[in-house]
Structure 1
Amino acid sequence: MPNVRRQRIFSIAAAALFVVAFFGVFFVSSVSVHAQSELATNLATVNAEVGLGTTDIRIVIARVIRIALGFLGVIAVGLMIYAGFIWMTSGGDPTKIKKAQGIMINAAVGLVIILSSLAITQFILSRLLDATGAGGSGTSRSAAEILTPFSSALGTGIIDTHYPARNQTDLPRNTNIAVTFRREMNPTTIMPAYDSANPELTSALNTDAMRIFFVDVDDLDGDGNTTEEIELSGEQVDVGVTPDNKTFVFNPNVYLGSEEMPVWYTVELTNDIELAGSSESIFRSGAYTWTFQVSTELDLMPPTVESVIPQASTTNARNILVQINYSETINPISAVGHAPTPFTNITLQTVPVGSGSPAGNWLLGNAYRTSEFVAETACGVNSCGETITCLPENVTVNVTAKAAGRVDSDSFEAVFPYSGLVDMAGNRLDGNDNEVPDETDNYSWQFQTNNDIVLTEPRVTALTPPLDGNVPASEIPFDQTVRIGFDSALQVSTVNADNVILRSPSESLWFTNSTTLIDGNPPVHEVTIQHGAFSEDILYGAELDSGLRSVYQNCFTPSRSQSCIGPNCCNEQSSLAQCAYPL
């Protein structure tokens, strides 16, 4: 009988493992199918007619897996308790003791199998996502992350943003990688040959601090090993850093991936990276990793300018900031610095002649897609008691964003060190947007200032998800993007993890911020918070701190929206006290 019982328990555990694995496969299939927009639209149409639930099928399956594992775990624990009871009441009877020991062993083995099933399901998910192409979109990768832990280093922790984004796909083989930290780093821990006397120079990567690698599942090197990690050496990566020692750019001097098929890369940042003036660890869990997919193509096309603030030929209050929005991500090494010297890749000249070039700093925000000039001349105080700065009054300001020098006359490939703006693939700016590399690739415009100073704080105009009691939390998708609309343009360099925060009970959900400029009179910004997958029955919140500023440098104090007048707004309710999460 004990053998029969053992076989029965093993059979039940094996069946459970099969069921979980089956759901894992089905889960992946659902990711691939539901990523198709046409099918999703048709399903939505049918749902509207028949009134079915709208919970994402991937969430349903994840819940089923979790419930099944929990139920089987309860059974295993119950068997342990039952065996213990038999042993305690055996009175020294060898037969009963042997029976109890047998049940304990079988229950322990079953519990190990049950716990292993989740890991095996994870393996199946990750392999099938890559093999079937379901991992080819950020959405499907996010769906798989329902079952994986997230690193809180991005957003909540030390990292403000990075490029490529988590699970980003279809990147060119000549892409650069950039990481922006929330605090100043010690550059020598990332690039050991860093020279503080010549900070503009690049040097080799310290691979103890950062690894860039892929698992050769397709045996691209032909050695028959499909599990090896192929890693870039330190000499294969040129590293540069911005003057504030917060943003590092990693430029592989070899093409990533393969001409034959897309390749998923992993970047790992380790605790060998140190803060400036300190040797303390920068990550809670020892390392931060993310993945991105490289295509089979090179990026040989240049970035262009999409919009600017102030708009051309307009007259503006002199405490306005200057912003340039690009068609794609820009290399921070080419776009950040103090003007008018030593940084000259973007220039401001004022008219009448002799009024000079305003001193200030060019910053790069909005996930590396917006340049922003903050002048140094103090001219007032905002509602937070902070100093605001101004451009000269009653002048015409000529702004020129320069294209970097070319490798040759027929190419947009830029020469390093960069004498102008370049994208993350090393292509110089195409300022006239004619897709021809020529001598007119700079981008210029002019505007005027008066002697006014605007001191109106930004106001929230829209929220997604909305604060609507008629929309239950169960109807909010696990990958719902959080959006906040404003009644004015913002200082994009303040739209960061310090001032726009996604809250969760464990503070373990990664998030990152970006902005979209919406045309209008005046133009306004919408802030987007991308994040890891939400979990059910968890209360999340978004927090806008007073450090968030408008394009006129006015801080978010008092906090205001269309229905709340502050001084603090907590779930659209005015409050004298600061809001505290959870609300």
Structure 2
Amino acid sequence: MLRNARSFRHAMLRRLLPSVVAVFFVAFAVLAAPSAFAQITEAQQQVQQTAQAAGVGGTTDLVQIIGRLINIFLGFLGVILLVLLLYAGFLWMTAGGNPEQVEKAKLYIRNAIIGLVIIASAFAITRFVLGLFEGAITGGGIVGGGGIPGGFASSAGSLGGGILESHYPPRDATGIARNTAIIVTFKQPIKINSLIQDYNDNGTPADLSDDTVTEGVNDTAVKIYRTDAGIAGTLTSGKVRVRFTEDRRTFVFRPVELLGSPNVNVGYTVELKGGLDGVLLEDGTLAFGGAFANGYIWNFETGTFVDLTPPKVVSAIPRPGNQYARNVLIQINFNEAIDPTSASGFVSGAQGFQNIQVHAGGVATPNLDGEYRISNQYRTVEFIPAELCGKNSCGEDVFCLPGGATIDAIARAATLDGAGPAAQFTSQGFDGVVDVASNSLDGNGDGTAGGQGADDYSWGFGTSNDINLTPPAIEFTMPPSDPSDPGQSNIDPFEPVAVRFDSILQSSSFNTGNAFIQTKEPPEWKDTFWWSTGNTLLTDLNEPVTDPSMIPVKSEGRILHRMYATSTEYDPFLLSGIRNMYQNCFNPVSSPGCPLGPGGPNCCQDQRTNSSCSF
């Protein structure tokens, strides 16, 4: 019996030792050959590309896959040894005084414990080795401190950190309709002919009336192509029609033919090129400079369908039938992204943009002067009146509607192209609000597009002669703001930063200049870290507003971003440029627990002080 037990022990060791030796071999190979990290990075990228091409995503990297397989193998061995321990215990408990059976049980237990020690050591070594690989790939590990991490895309940092405010489709979006438009919003006016081939502004970029108009994309500066075809498959000037908003900041690229395929999902890449042959600012200087000189690149994936669903209004602010202070802004929120050329513009002398109208004293009165501004990833349009009526506490101009008036607002549906829901497109663009797939507004929310007049969305409210001076304040942040314990959030690396305010925000003020993330990453990573902003209306129960019957009372802002690197500090910032619907600015040193008042300008741990806060 003892000989059989010893034979079993030797057999177990013979089976376990090869696994342990293999793990040690991998560890020594990694420590002896740092160049293997570059191979792992390349292999990871190949795995991700293959997975994406197969339609199964690519978010799990090669190191994670290997680690999971090793963990499964070691876990299986652990289960075997656990069963052996249980069996040894059974033998001992049922020995009935038989010394040979007791000795046999002891040997089983001893061998199982040795096996568990070996497995635990192998697990620790595996974690260490894979940690080295992960560190090399993300830049945060023991080996390989510099360079751009393999899991992070370059030519991305201009979104948020550079010239780009937003774009559609979003980065790495999937399930995009084949008839979508591609939209890009810049933070400054762009030289039109750097994006539109042969366009001539005749030296007066702000005056569009004397322009020599063309619509074909400048395919030298803008590359749109199927990812699998590469840059050689770029859509040429005759295959993409381009329109832009009056401020020359937002450009809408509409492919002449449907993107993708009716049978399989198709990946697309969009490149905005840097350099003198690339995108230029209105004064002729480079739009992409410094760390972002290479331009900007992003990917998205089309589905197999065409979008034939018209957009709806989710909420209209101010709500109808009530009276509001005259410094309130008008805001319309849609359930999907809207074509900015159909929903934004300027009115001066009652002339200009007419797709959305605001009247004081009835719809027969002239359209009020002001700006219709689109934001929130193209889902929100705000009317900012032209009448200057004061300044807020941050010294910013405040604009007002007529006081003591009845205000009527209308968002017009577009003329249909045939039976619809697609809208008719003319040389003047769309004559009503349409979504990114050119579907006309469904103003009555019945699921069909009835066209202009039949499907307009209108409402009314009143104004007083009062001015609302209450600033917005933060109710909640995620990750939590805890100066006593910085850097201990341990959140999902893809989790957006979220901040809930106690009132409805001016959507266009919650932008990448006023809400952003500072990183402690190496400087050479700067062109990999991107961020974008959005916001959601909430009820008093903090439920998202999804229907006009729900009453919005507050907003939650979000900062989406590139995934965080391991062991790196990230600092979200919210600046005083953030404003509520009454154009009152957010005071960063105020909070519900530390309201504005005496005691000093700084708010430290909910106490006002003249001293700097310690963290």
Which TM class, normalised by the smaller chain length? 0.7 to 0.9
Query: Aligned in 2, Cα 1:358/1:234: closer, same or farther, shift over 3 Å?
Result: same
Instruction: Indicate which of 369, 388, 400 corresponds to 1:390.
Output: 400
Out of 275-284 and 352-361, give the one that drifted further.
352-361
Distance 2:604 2:307 in 1: 46
Aligned ranges 1:399-410 → 2 under 5 Å: 399-410=409-420
- Return the alpha-carbon distance in structure 2 between the equivalents of residues 300 and 572 of structure 1: 52
Tell me the distance in 1 between the aligned counterparts of 2:244 and 2:502.
35
Q: Show the counterpart of 1:560.
A: 590
1:513 aligns to 2:533 (yes or no)? yes
CA deviation profile, 1:190-245 (whole Å, cap 9, x unmatched): 1133354447966111111111111337xxxxxxxxx7853211211111111111
What is the CA–CA distance in structure 1 between the aligned matches of 2:29 and 2:287, rounded to whole Å? 39
Aligned twin of 1:97: none
Q: Which residue does the alignment assign to 1:279? A: 285
User: Which one of 30, 34, 45 corresponds to residue 122 of structure 1?
Assistant: 45
| Residues 375-386 of structure 1 mapped to structure 2, 5 A cutoff | 375-386=385-396
The secondary structure found in structure 1 opposite 2:512 is coil
Cα–Cα, structure 1 residues 297 and 215, in superposed 2: closer, same or farther, change >3 Å?
A: same
CA offsets, 1:37-85, max 9 Å, x none? xxxxxxxxxxxxxxxxxxxxxxxxxxxxxxx7xx856534xxxxxxxxx
CA drift of 1:535 comes to 1.2
For residue 370 of structure 2, what is the aligned residue in structure 1? 360
Change (3 A) 1:557 1:188: same
1:550 alignment partner AA: N
Summarize the Cα distance change of 1:408–1:385 in structure 2 as closer, same or farther, 3 Å threshold: same
SS in 2 for 1:161: strand
* 8 Å CA contact retained: 2:45, 2:151: yes
Task: Output the TM-score relative to the length of structure 1.
Answer: 0.74
* Cα distance, 1:122 vs structure 2: 1.6
Q: Whole-Å Cα distance in 1 between the matches of residues 180 and 465 of structure 2?
A: 44
1:248-290 superposed Cα distances (whole Å, 9 cap, x missing partner): 1111111001111000111111111011113235142412111
Structure-2 residue corresponding to 1:485: 500
Identical counterparts, % of pairs: 35
Q: CA deviation at 1:354?
A: 8.2
Q: How does 1:523-534 map to 2 (within 5 A)?
A: 523-534=553-564
Q: Does residue 261 of structure 1 match 2:264?
A: yes
Aligned partners of 1:263, 1:176: CA distance in 2, in Å? 15
Of 169, 173, 189, which aligns to 2:174? Answer: 169
Contact 2:48 2:58 in 1 (8 A): no
| Counterpart-to-counterpart distance in 1, 2:231 and 2:402 | 60
Q: CA RMSD in A?
A: 3.0
- Residues 207 and 450 of structure 1: CA distance in aligned 2, closer, same or farther (over 3 Å): same
1:299 has 2:303 as partner: no
Provide the C-alpha distance between the structure 1 equivalents of 2:158 and 2:190, rounded to a whole number of angstroms: 15
Query: For the residues of structure 2 that align with 1:136 and 1:418, how far apart are their CA atoms?
Result: 39
Structure 1 residue 568: Cα displacement: 5.1
Q: What is the rounded CA distance, in whole Å, between the counterparts of 1:570 and 1:157 in structure 2?
A: 32
For 2:457, which of 427, 443, 456 is the aligned residue?
Answer: 443
Q: Is the partner of 2:301 in helix, strand or coil?
A: strand
Q: How many Å separate the matches in 2 of 1:500 and 1:302?
A: 31
Offset at residue 135 of structure 1 (A): 4.5
> 1:345, 1:354 → 2: CA distance?
15
Q: Aligned partner of 1:192: which letter?
A: Q
Return the index of the structure with the highest Cα Rg: 2
User: Which residue of 2 is the match for residue 148 of structure 1?
Assistant: 152
Q: Give the 3 Å change call, closer, same or farther, for CA 314–281 of structure 1 in structure 2.
A: closer
How far does the alpha carbon of each residue in 1:167-211 deviate from its partner, in whole angstroms, 9 at most, with x for none?
A: 111010000011111112111111133354447966111111111
Structure 1 equivalent of residue 80 of structure 2: none
Q: 2:220 aligns with which of 200, 208, 214?
A: 208
Preserved CA contact (<8 Å) 1:209 1:273: yes
Match of 1:59?
none
**Alpha-carbon separation, structure 2, partners of 1:534 and 1:314:** 45
Task: Give me the whole-angstrom Cα distance separating, in 2, the residues matched to 1:136 and 1:402.
Answer: 42
Distance apart, 1:519 and its partner CA: 2.6
Change (3 A) 1:575 1:208: farther
User: How far apart in 2 are the matches of 1:372 and 1:296?
Assistant: 34
- Tell which deviates more after alignment, 208-217 or 480-489: 208-217
The correspondence for 1:503, drawn from 518, 523, 545, is 518
Query: Residues 168 and 573 of structure 1: is their aligned pair in 2 closer, same or farther, counting only changes over 3 Å?
Result: farther
Matches within 5 A, 1:331-480: 331-339=339-347, 340-351=350-361, 356-416=366-426, 417-438=429-450, 439-468=453-482, 473=488, 475-480=490-495
Instruction: Determine if contact 1:216/1:229 at 8 Å carries over to the other structure.
Output: no
Provide the rounded CA distance (Å) in 1 between the counterparts of 2:170 and 2:463: 38
User: Counterpart in 2 of 1:3?
Assistant: none
Partner of 1:318: 326
* Deviation for aligned residue 1:556: 1.7
Contact 2:199 2:212 in 1 (8 A): no
Shift of 1:149: 3.6
**Following the alignment from structure 1 to structure 2, what is the Cα–Cα distance between the partners of residues 523 and 476?**
28
Q: Tell me how far 1:317 sits from its aligned partner.
A: 0.3
In structure 1, C-alpha distance between the alignment counterparts of 2:327 and 2:152, rounded to whole Å: 46
Distance 2:520 2:611 in 1: 21
Distance in structure 2 (CA, Å) of the matches to 1:125 and 1:353 = 56
Superimposed CA distance per residue, residues 5-40 of structure 1 (whole angstroms, 9 cap, x where no aligned partner): xxxxxxxxxx99x97xxxxxxxxxxxxxxxxxxxxx
Matched, 1:191 2:196: yes
Output the TM-score relative to the length of structure 2.
0.71
Q: Which residue of 2 aligns with 1:545?
A: 575
The offset of 1:542, in angstroms, is 1.1
What is the deviation of 1:472? 6.9
Cα shift at 1:353 = 8.2
**Separation in structure 2 between the aligned mates of residue 280 and residue 493 of structure 1, nearest angstrom:** 25
- Supply the AA of the counterpart residue of 2:269: T
